[in-house]
């Protein structure tokens, strides 16, 4: 199809009309335009070739269902005229940058916190997508856009989203597809999405593909047969515990060689397991998105900001130091709430799903601060609307109203809500206590 001219009018399924303003981009499937609908700017995707009836019915169904979360640039209205087929979605704000730009260091996250927030937002968005009875099917580094300051994510190309085990023609990209999908053993589903999510999370955290080690580095050019072997028939994790044949190569895989050692042990343990030969070959053994969310939240619980301004990861309960300036940050006490352990260091936050029954890992409900008069005294401010009750080591109880704080003591109990109780101590997380 020829590129549409400015001013072309396209009829929409809601009865209104989109007026083409300019071309935003072109791909294999079609072109995306900036267009105006009822005086407001939107993105308009027009397919180069009319998709199947099944595809269009699925698109209509997704429009009816609506976006699972705000992170999806979800189809809003359909274009299905005799001449044009496509859909309208919101325009991506300019500050959101494609993930692939981060992978080649053309864009950088402002901090580890921003990166971890991005990882959590993607995982949360996919959890909600799966809970809505859908699967994404085509996860790859071209679908995600991040705000580098906050890590906030936008997910595009949602027209292939459909119920698990059905397929509308797109099977995914080699490097992101689950082995069983590459080998055509089954159609994409939630379990293959879990594999792709693990790949995306590894790439976000480590800036390297989990299967790209010596094997890929040793071939001058990847072709379909090699890709099928490396990502489908015989995938080997670069840090596989039983097979060291595919380790990262010095001078080639520089990022992952540096970053792998920085993270707390439970993060490495989670990747060891998810990319073990056994779990890669057995989709039913893969960790679900909700479990990933807990792992990432635990990582956020251990991300401390040093006085130098840079962040570092603590092994909860043990001594920690700043990776950037080398300063010893001591052994912060730990607030344990269920299976979550929060290193109590100034700047650390508590979130709604830790202090209440709300399923919300993003709203701050508490904050660790230094006492203004004595910076060696640290406390927690209640940023929620609930009243908390602290039980001091001597048995006295104190109510902590909203926006009030209390000093941190070892041995304290804090009742945040009916269902959430925390204890302050110096907990050591051992690998066998990984939150699963
Ligand atoms: Zn520092």
CA–centroid distance, residue 301 to ligand 1 (Å): 18
Helix H or strand E encompassing 114: helix 112-131
DSSP letter string over 312-359?
EE--TTS--B-TTT--B-----EEEETTEEEE--TT-EEEHHHHSS--
Read off the pLDDT of each residue in 352-364 and give the average, rounded to a whole number.
97
Q: Which backbone phi and psi does 154 adopt, to 5 degrees? A: -125, 135
Going by pLDDT thresholds of 50, 70 and 90, the confidence category of residue 2 is confident
CA–centroid distance, residue 328 to ligand 1 (Å): 8
Q: Which backbone phi and psi does 258 adopt, to 5 degrees? A: -80, -45
CA–centroid distance, residue 326 to ligand 1 (Å): 6
Residues with CB under 5 A from ligand 1 (ion): 306, 308, 322, 324-325, 327
CA–centroid distance, residue 312 to ligand 1 (Å): 8
CA–centroid distance, residue 307 to ligand 1 (Å): 6
Q: Does the pLDDT of residue 171 top 80, yes or no?
A: no
CA–centroid distance, residue 229 to ligand 1 (Å): 43
Q: What percent of the chain has pLDDT over 70?
A: 97
Task: Kindly list the domain boundaries of the chain, sorted by start residue.
Answer: 9-52+75-89, 97-291, 303-433
CA–centroid distance, residue 126 to ligand 1 (Å): 34
Q: Does the pLDDT of residue 56 top 50, yes or no?
A: yes
Q: Does the pLDDT of residue 217 top 80, yes or no?
A: yes
Going by pLDDT thresholds of 50, 70 and 90, the confidence category of residue 430 is low
Tell me the pLDDT tens digit for each residue of 303-350: 999 999 999 998 877 778 898 999 998 888 999 999 999 999 999 999
Length of the chain: 436
Domain made up of 303-433: CATH architecture: Sandwich (2.60)
CA–centroid distance, residue 322 to ligand 1 (Å): 5
At residue 431, the pLDDT reads 44
Fold annotation for 97-291: Transferase(Phosphotransferase); domain 1 (1.10.510)
Q: Please give the Cα distance from 75 to 384 (Å, whole number).
A: 35
Q: Please give the Cα distance from 102 to 203 (Å, whole number).
A: 10
Average pLDDT for the chain: 93
């Amino acid at each position: 199809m020829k590129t549409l001219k400015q001013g072309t009018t396209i009829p929409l399924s809601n009865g209104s009309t989109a007026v083409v303003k300019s071309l935003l981009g072109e791909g294999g499937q079609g072109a995306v335009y900036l267009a105006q609908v009822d005086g407001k700017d939107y993105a308009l995707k027009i397919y180069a070739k009319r998709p199947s009836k099944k595809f269009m019915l699925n698109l209509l169904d997704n429009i009816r269902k609506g976006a699972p979360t705000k992170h999806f640039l979800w189809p809003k209205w359909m274009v299905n005229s005799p001449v044009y087929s496509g859909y309208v979605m919101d325009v991506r704000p300019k500050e959101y940058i494609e993930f692939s730009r981060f992978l080649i260091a053309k864009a950088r996250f402002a901090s580890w916190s921003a990166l971890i927030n991005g990882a959590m937002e993607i995982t949360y968005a996919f959890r909600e997508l799966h809970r809505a009875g859908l699967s994404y099917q085509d996860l790859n580094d071209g679908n995600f856009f991040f705000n580098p300051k906050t890590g906030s994510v936008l997910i595009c190309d949602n027209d292939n989203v459909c119920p698990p085990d059905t397929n509308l023609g797109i099977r995914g990209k080699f490097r992101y597809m689950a082995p069983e999908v590459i080998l055509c053993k089954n159609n994409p589903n939630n379990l293959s999405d879990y594999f792709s999510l693990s790949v995306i999370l590894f790439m976000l955290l480590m800036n390297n593909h989990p299967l790209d080690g010596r094997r890929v580095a040793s071939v001058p050019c990847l072709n379909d047969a090699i890709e099928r072997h490396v990502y489908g028939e015989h995938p080997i994790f670069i840090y596989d515990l039983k097979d060291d044949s595919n380790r990262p190569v010095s001078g080639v895989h520089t990022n992952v060689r540096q970053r792998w050692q920085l993270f707390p042990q439970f993060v490495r343990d989670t990747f060891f397991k998810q990319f073990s030969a056994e779990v890669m070959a057995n989709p039913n053994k893969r960790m679900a998105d909700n479990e990933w969310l807990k792992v990432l939240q635990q990582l956020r619980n251990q991300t401390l900001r040093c006085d130098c301004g840079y962040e570092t990861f603590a092994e909860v309960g043990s001594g920690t130091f700043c990776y950037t300036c080398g300063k010893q940050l001591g052994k912060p006490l730990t607030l344990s709430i269920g299976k979550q352990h929060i290193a109590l260091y100034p700047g650390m936050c508590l979130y709604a799903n830790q202090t209440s029954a709300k399923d919300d890992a993003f709203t701050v409900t508490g904050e660790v601060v230094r006492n203004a008069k004595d910076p060696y005294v640290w406390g927690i401010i209640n940023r929620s609307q609930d009243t908390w009750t602290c039980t001091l080591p001597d048995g006295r109880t104190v109510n902590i109203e909203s926006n009030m704080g209390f000093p941190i003591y070892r041995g304290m109990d804090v009742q945040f809500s009916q269902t959430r109780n925390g204890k302050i101590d110096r907990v050591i997380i051992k690998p066998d206590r990984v939150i699963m």
